[in-house]
């Protein structure tokens, strides 16, 4: 694949990421009773998706690992940023929905 995305591919990816992380965030919020857990964990997930550096290299050689992460972040295309940020939006919407449900008296587990 040459790395070019069509508009349909980007829109479907945005929708899939938003729904997927809304669902994961909603379930985690419901089970763990930590409303903003997925919104806090999501940037770590994005770093693991983007970066090609091993996780332990952030502790063994942090300068090289964070420089490589910065280079990868600067090399992202607009479509990549749009798709990844839609996942964060889905996680935030899950937190808002859980807050509203709890405020209206719904108790989950």
pTM: 0.83
Do residues 87 and 42 make contact, with C-beta atoms less than 8 angstroms apart?
yes
Tokens 């964990």 correspond to 41
pLDDT in tens, 7-37: 899 999 999 999 999 999 999 888 888 888 8
Do residues 32 and 101 make contact, with C-beta atoms less than 8 angstroms apart?
no
Q: Please, what's the b/e burial string for 65-80 (b: 16 or more CB within 10 A of its CB; e: otherwise)?
A: beebbeeeeeeeeebb
pLDDT in tens, 86-101: 999 999 999 999 889 8
């Amino acid at each position: 694949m040459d790395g070019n995305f069509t508009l349909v591919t980007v829109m479907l990816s945005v929708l899939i990421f938003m729904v997927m992380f809304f669902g994961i965030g909603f379930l985690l919020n419901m089970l763990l009773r930590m409303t903003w857990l997925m919104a806090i964990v999501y940037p770590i997930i994005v770093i693991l998706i983007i970066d090609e550096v091993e996780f332990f290299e952030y502790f063994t050689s942090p300068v090289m690992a964070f420089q490589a992460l910065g280079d990868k972040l600067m090399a992202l295309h607009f479509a990549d940023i749009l798709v990844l940020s839609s996942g964060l939006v889905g996680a935030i919407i899950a937190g808002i929905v859980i807050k509203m449900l709890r405020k209206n008296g719904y108790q989950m587990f």
